[in-house]
Structure 1
């Protein structure tokens, strides 16, 4: 349980760092201050922490318990790809939901594209990093004492 929760924490930190970098790159194009950016990141970090805790309890931890330790699915590369695909599947749901409810119009697409990219990359990055970190915990230590 401890290794699984630590891996998910690493994923949460990675997704928030990626979002911060993306927002810093976008800052010159927007009319927002650095103070607004920090406040937004803090609010997003708190909210995403609650969501990721729920995802850990409902998805990541049960999968960690179900996949046997010697499974090929626990290889770092395979685990990272599976974690990324599982997390990024949120993007498909967001795009389908947005299109279904509002239709696709060119005028509203710019904001949706930025929000969709930030929202979708966060769970993908979280899943990828968490699965990779957790799979590396299973690898034998090759360092000599």
Structure 2
């Protein structure tokens, strides 16, 4: 399974303005809810439960909030570039301005779980993250994912 199988151009969002981690998770959940037909409150709940295990803030201003969801048939992802950084309790203490929401089916096969690893590898690449920050529009941001997926497969 490929990153672009999980995150489409329609699932790229620019200029969110959350004031903090909780608000960011809520905003991402509302956006995801509209795309996958699951109640936003249910999404917030699984994400918050996952965050209690440890922050999904990777560092370098990037977070990958993720969780498994009951009833979801296939992985769903959403890429958000924030207008300004917001606190996220990342492992390096830096605030976040790039967030990739990833929701996985509850009984995810290994193939689905590998998507998280691919996204994480891509978002640890400082050049790829700089390109995401500099992209002009959703199509350009998605293009960085499309180009980076090959490197993430390695």
User: So what's the TM-score if we normalise by structure 1?
Assistant: 0.28
User: So what's the TM-score if we normalise by structure 2?
Assistant: 0.27
Q: Which has the higher helix share?
A: 1
- Structure exhibiting the larger radius of gyration computed from Cα positions: 1
